[in-house]
Chain A
Amino acid sequence: MVNKKKVDRNRQLIIALSLITIALVFGQVAVFIYFGGQGAKAAQISQTKNDLIRENKQLRTEILRRTSFSFISEQAQKAGFEQASSIVYLEGQLPMAFKNK
């Protein structure tokens, strides 16, 4: 005596499992295809990152050059600046009015 209901249920289960397996296989293939294409993008991002780092270093070098004393001193001389030769130190003296008291 074969339980027909049970057979039908098992058959449905097998079909469902088969469909899930097929879906998973295709899904996996799709995911791998998608991420496989991302490798090029990752390489591109890495290249851009390296270029930006390099550019940043170049800019930093240029900033340092332009703020170095040797450069500033050269520019100051060109602009006509001279070192102060006589300096007066302001001291905390009392005003004359107080001294007279």
Chain B
Amino acid sequence: MPLSRTRLVFILFFFSFLAIIARLGWWQIAQSEALLSQAKAQRWEEKIIPAKRGEIFFTDAYPLASSKPFYNLYAFKPEIKISYQELVEQLIKISPLEKKEIQEMLESDLLWVPIWKHLGEKNREEVLSLQIDGLELEEETGREYPEASQAAHLLGFLGKNEKGENQGYFGLEGYYDRQLRGSDGKVVQEKDALGRPIVLGGYYKSTVKNGINLRLFLDRQLQWIAEKCIAKGTKRYGAKKGLVIISNPQNGGILAMAVYPNFDPSDYSKTESELFFNPAISGTFEPGSIFKILIMAAALDSGAVTPQDICPTCSGPVKIGEYTIKTWNDQYYPKSTMTEIIQHSDNVGMVYVGRQLGLEKTLVYLERFGIGQKTGIDLQGETTGKFKEKKYWSSIDLATISFGQGIAVTPIQMVQIVNVIANQGKLIPPRVVQGIQETKQIIKPETAKQITEMMVNAVEQGEAKWTKIPGASIAGKTGTAQIPIQGHYDPEKTIASFVGFAPALKPQFTMLVILYEPTTSPWASETAAPLWFDIAKDIFLLKSINPK
């Protein structure tokens, strides 16, 4: 009997140990991963340190776009200790949301309900002051635009990609997205039962790499003037849209780029997507008479003509095959010099210049000036017009290109062309972010001087002389281009432009003004030119430039 009792005790202990071993085995083998991660979550706190998106500054170090934290409000249903009705009543006191809207969100199947997005600092404080359990604020980095919608097309906007992460679209935000973004850091720290950090506990950190800041050539004063004037000008001349580009010819820096109508980058979701395209770099147009300066510069540089040469075919319309080319106002100036051809913006005269230059050299100079190639400006979305292969060119093509029709360029390409003339024949690609650009001499300095004199004469004596600034030394050229539609030109609509630089002998800025489809007058001399001079007046005043 005593023996069997001992055996019983032994068996009891044996099974007890077996049960304990089995239980330990269950925890340590079967449940090991789940328990380990639970223990880790209790003991370790992991915090992602979001990288600060790089800021974008005007040339005077004032931010065009800066980083700002925003908050999203969520309700975690299991932790809400008051009734939904009471919660809704509290929330409508501080938020712009409708009562019904919040109620519907709370009644959804979700446990973690997003209630209010994009809260500012003031809203955050109001939410915290409610002291309601179950309301959580999630921080995210967004953009703030101290100068509101200024330079919106140049800037682009910060949106979300398919993963819900911040991503820059269009303009600078798109082009420099990778550099602006940076990379997030992480801190892993041991914590106690109350969630406080253990000073002597484990601590691991991977360094956050903030995005780089961009300093632009963009001048805040000039941008302000450009925005204000293009908005006013587009309305005044009844145009569909308008744009201004101001550049520094010495370094190719973009000093201002304004488009009207523009959009608010902080509220881009309410904007029609068509408006995101920047016509300054993404839109091509037939430049019309402003292109004459390129053809004339090429003809002068190659020695095909001199400024004093007389046009022998300028006494009337010129016939090329089945086409007849006339001047814009059907007035003819026999024995015009090359300077007068630019002054009168004479299409017939330009046909003569084009013929003197010849197809071969025309194509060489078009390539030198960068026509048919992107300028490489540091903005997302640049496009370019293309021109035909040499074998497809006919004599009518050579004729029309000499006065800027039958060829498509972007406004930024036109600015690059005029910068060459203002910069003594040196080509510098346009650039928005400060940096050093390589220069290339593409026409002789003497040629640049000759074409400058022609442009000064065009301002002084040309059809836009009524609007010039008295006493100011300005080199410029008007351009009224027809708009091609389905194989022919629209008989009524035009694109009016004026391009030039000042002061002519020591240029401080180059400026291009374009008005698309103005309705008060189709002519650039009555629309784009006066607007150009209005902006120039303000620039002279604000930048203390003596225009003489």
Q: Is the CB of A68 within 8 A of B146?
A: yes
Q: Assuming A57-B69, A69-B147, what are 18 further A-B pairs, CB within 8 angstroms? A: A32-B200, A35-B199, A36-B199, A39-B191, A39-B199, A42-B197, A43-B196, A43-B197, A57-B121, A60-B66, A64-B62, A64-B146, A67-B146, A68-B146, A69-B221, A69-B224, A70-B147, A89-B546
Q: Is the CB of B224 within 8 A of A35?
A: no
Q: Is the CB of B66 within 8 A of A64?
A: yes
Chain A residues positioned under 8 Å from B196 (CB to CB): 39-40, 42-43
Give A83 Cβ to nearest chain B Cβ, in Å: 8
Per the bound structure, the CA–CA distance linking A61 and B345 in Å amounts to 51
- A35-76 contact mask (Cβ, 8 Å, vs B): 1 or 0: 110111011001000000010011011001101111001000
Give A36 Cβ to nearest chain B Cβ, in Å: 7
Q: Does B126 contact A (CB under 8 A)?
A: no
Give B321 Cβ to nearest chain A Cβ, in Å: 53
Q: Is the CB of B199 within 8 A of A91?
A: no
Chain B residues positioned under 8 Å from A39 (CB to CB): 191-192, 196-199
Interface residues in A2-47 (C-beta closer than 8 Å to B) = 32, 35-36, 38-40, 42-43, 46
Chain A residues positioned under 8 Å from B147 (CB to CB): 68-70
Per the bound structure, the CA–CA distance linking A66 and B3 in Å amounts to 97
Per the bound structure, the CA–CA distance linking A84 and B541 in Å amounts to 8
Q: Is the CB of A35 within 8 A of B200?
A: yes
Q: Is the CB of B548 within 8 A of A42?
A: no
Name the interface size band of chain B. Answer: 20 to 34
Per the bound structure, the CA–CA distance linking A48 and B308 in Å amounts to 77
Per the bound structure, the CA–CA distance linking A72 and B527 in Å amounts to 30
Q: Does A87 contact B (CB under 8 A)?
A: yes
Chain A residues positioned under 8 Å from B538 (CB to CB): 83
Q: Lowest 3 A-B CB distances belong to which pairs?
A: A39-B196, A64-B146, A35-B199
Residue of A36, A58, A68 contacting most chain B CB atoms (<10 Å):
A68
Task: Mark A residues whose CB is within 8 Å of B.
Answer: 32, 35-36, 38-40, 42-43, 46, 54, 57-58, 60-61, 64-65, 67-70, 73, 83-84, 87, 89, 91
Q: In the complex, which residue of chain B has the Cβ closest to the Cβ of A71?
A: B146
29 A/B residue pairs, CB under 8 Å, sorted by A: A36-B198, A36-B199, A39-B191, A39-B196, A39-B197, A39-B198, A39-B199, A40-B196, A42-B196, A42-B197, A43-B197, A57-B69, A57-B121, A58-B121, A64-B63, A64-B66, A64-B144, A67-B62, A68-B146, A68-B147, A69-B147, A69-B221, A83-B538, A83-B541, A84-B541, A89-B546, A89-B547, A91-B546, A91-B548
Residue of B63, B191, B199, B548 contacting most chain A CB atoms (<10 Å):
B199
Per the bound structure, the CA–CA distance linking A60 and B66 in Å amounts to 10
Chain B residues positioned under 8 Å from A69 (CB to CB): 147, 220-221, 224
Per the bound structure, the CA–CA distance linking A64 and B66 in Å amounts to 10
From A42, A46, A65, A89, contact of B146 by CB (8 A): A65
Per the bound structure, the CA–CA distance linking A46 and B189 in Å amounts to 13
Per the bound structure, the CA–CA distance linking A38 and B147 in Å amounts to 45
Per the bound structure, the CA–CA distance linking A87 and B148 in Å amounts to 31
Per the bound structure, the CA–CA distance linking A36 and B224 in Å amounts to 57
Q: How many A-B residue pairs have CB under 8 A?
A: 60
Per the bound structure, the CA–CA distance linking A61 and B192 in Å amounts to 37
Chain A residues positioned under 8 Å from B160 (CB to CB): none
Q: Is the CB of B121 within 8 A of A54?
A: yes
Per the bound structure, the CA–CA distance linking A30 and B514 in Å amounts to 78
Chain A residues positioned under 8 Å from B194 (CB to CB): 40
Q: Does B533 contact A (CB under 8 A)?
A: no
Per the bound structure, the CA–CA distance linking A67 and B147 in Å amounts to 9
Q: Is the CB of B199 within 8 A of A38?
A: yes
Q: Does B268 contact A (CB under 8 A)?
A: no
Chain B residues positioned under 8 Å from A36 (CB to CB): 192, 198-199
Give A91 Cβ to nearest chain B Cβ, in Å: 7
Q: Does B540 contact A (CB under 8 A)?
A: yes
Per the bound structure, the CA–CA distance linking A16 and B329 in Å amounts to 115
Interface residues in B293-317 (C-beta closer than 8 Å to A) = none
Q: Does B440 contact A (CB under 8 A)?
A: no
Q: Does B68 contact A (CB under 8 A)?
A: yes
Per the bound structure, the CA–CA distance linking A73 and B147 in Å amounts to 12
Per the bound structure, the CA–CA distance linking A74 and B507 in Å amounts to 32
Chain A residues positioned under 8 Å from B200 (CB to CB): 32, 35
Per the bound structure, the CA–CA distance linking A66 and B198 in Å amounts to 43
Interface residues in B172-201 (C-beta closer than 8 Å to A) = 191-192, 194, 196-200
Q: Is the CB of B546 within 8 A of A61?
A: no
Q: In the complex, which residue of chain A has the Cβ closest to the Cβ of B538?
A: A83
Chain A residues positioned under 8 Å from B198 (CB to CB): 35-36, 39
Per the bound structure, the CA–CA distance linking A52 and B392 in Å amounts to 68
Q: Is the CB of A61 within 8 A of B144?
A: yes
Give B403 Cβ to nearest chain A Cβ, in Å: 36
Given that A32-B200, A61-B144, A69-B220 are known contacts, is A87 also in contact with B62, CB under 8 Å in the complex? no
Q: Is the CB of B199 within 8 A of A87?
A: no
Give A38 Cβ to nearest chain B Cβ, in Å: 5
Give A8 Cβ to nearest chain B Cβ, in Å: 41
Chain B residues positioned under 8 Å from A89 (CB to CB): 546-548
Chain A residues positioned under 8 Å from B66 (CB to CB): 60, 64
From B63, B121, B192, B541, contact of A87 by CB (8 A): B541
Chain A residues positioned under 8 Å from B69 (CB to CB): 54, 57
Per the bound structure, the CA–CA distance linking A68 and B148 in Å amounts to 9
Residue of A40, A54, A65, A89 contacting most chain B CB atoms (<10 Å):
A89
Give A87 Cβ to nearest chain B Cβ, in Å: 6
Q: Is the CB of A61 within 8 A of B68?
A: yes
Give B503 Cβ to nearest chain A Cβ, in Å: 11
